[in-house]
Amino acid sequence: MRVLLDKNSQRSFIKSYWREGRKALLKSVQPVLARAEHINPEDLKQQVRRLLIKSEIEGYIETLYLHTGSHFAYSTAQKLLTKKDDYQLNFWERLYKKYAAERSAKVTGQILDTEAENINRIIDLHISSGEAAGLGVQDIANYMRANLESDLVNMQYYEAERIARTEVIGASNTASLEGAKSTGLDIGKFWMHSGILSPGYRVEHVMFQDMGVQDIDYEYDTGLQCPGDENADPGQIINCRCTIGYDDKN
């Protein structure tokens, strides 16, 4: 018995929530753009974090976790069980509703902090460029207003990809693991590296794959039971592309 997480489905979720993430991020910064019309760049920097709309990001993350988590928990349980009616999709949707809300509350603040830092970095670049060009305070403010939205759209394109990939990978793998555990079967799990060896790839994740089948509760690192595990150090999960699989114990 060898059961793999559906990578095509995972990629589809990432693509969908990358698109939805761009929308949510853009909506969240609208008060910042509106305020930029009436305030100078330095003063705007002090207000960015407070102006961001929390509910846009919170709703986005909660929906991502609810749909992704329930789908992969259900699909994994169905693949492992011989009686296909033991765990219906609506069971997992009910179970993940509370978890999705908790995850959203935890992650939203982190996303908004990063978004505020990125926006202020863009404002600083406008200020530095204006000063280097010999512009006065008012001209720098006008330049910022003319370019801030397009700069944010460019920034958010990549930020939304990072968020979608990190959160979908985490939700799909952790939910899949919960689905596997729920069956009560005496099985093991194994780590599958994406095979992408780009600069900065995690060597230890390749080592995890080489370890083969492990006990279902095994921790590869502190708090890391599967790729994207939210209980692990962020350095282990951000932009991770690895997946979890299941097989008979050695």
Average pLDDT of the chain to the nearest whole number: 91
| Segments forming the whole domain that contains residue 93 | 7-184
Average pLDDT (129-155) is 88
**Is the residue at 217 inside a domain?**
no
Buried b (16+ CB within 10 A) or exposed e, 48-70: beebbeeebbbebbbebbbbbbb
Distances 98 to 20, 69, 90, 94 between C-alpha atoms, Å: 21, 11, 14, 8
224, part of any domain: no
The mean per-residue pLDDT over the stretch 137-155 comes to 89
pLDDT band at 86 (very low <50, low <70, confident <90, very high): low
Residues 29 and 7: their CA atoms lie apart, in Å, by 33
| Residue 150 within any structural domain of the chain | yes
Could you tell me what percent of the chain has a pLDDT over 90?
Answer: 67
Q: Which pLDDT score is estimated for 85?
A: 57
Structure tokens at 33: 């753009």
The pLDDT tens digits for 178-237 are 999 998 999 999 999 987 777 777 889 999 999 999 999 999 999 999 999 989 998 898
Is residue 208 situated within a structural domain? Answer: no
Question: Which tokens belong to 57?
Answer: 């990001």
Q: Is residue 55 part of a domain?
A: yes
Whether 191 is covered by a domain: the verdict is no
Asked if residue 228 is part of any domain, the answer here is: no
Higher pLDDT, 49 or 130: 49
* pLDDT value of position 90: 81
- In the prediction, which pLDDT does 94 show? 87
pLDDT at 81 exceeding the cut of 80: yes
In a domain, 229, yes or no: no
User: Is residue 172 scored above 80 in pLDDT?
Assistant: yes
| Local confidence band at 64 (pLDDT 50, 70, 90 cut-offs) | very high
What CA–CA distance (Å, rounded) separates 56 from 107?
A: 13
Q: How many domains does the chain have?
A: 1
